[in-house]
Amino acid sequence: MACPMEQEQDNDAELVASVAEEFVGKLGTEAVPYLRAREALSAGRGDSLSAEAWHDIADAAALILTRVN
């Protein structure tokens, strides 16, 4: 049985993948630059938690796009 921390990480990974898929579905190859811009905006505002989330979503989107192409 997975510990609560592992379950939370699994849930986070699933959410990141789901959000990334949504952006790729809407923006196609423009998803990654769009998401990287959101990361930069968040970092520029000092919101490191949001910047990290956008970073993870952008990485996931890039991975999705490499699998599609």
Nearest C-alpha neighbor of 24 from the set 34, 39, 13: 34
What is the per-residue pLDDT across 6-61, written as a single tens digit (0 to 9) for each?
A: 666 678 899 999 999 999 999 999 999 999 999 999 999 999 999 999 999 999 99
Give pLDDT, residue 11.
81
Give pLDDT, residue 24.
98
Is the model's pTM score more than 0.75? Answer: yes
Give pLDDT, residue 13.
92
Query: Which sign, positive or negative, has the C-alpha torsion 10, 30, 24, 34?
Result: positive
Give pLDDT, residue 4.
64
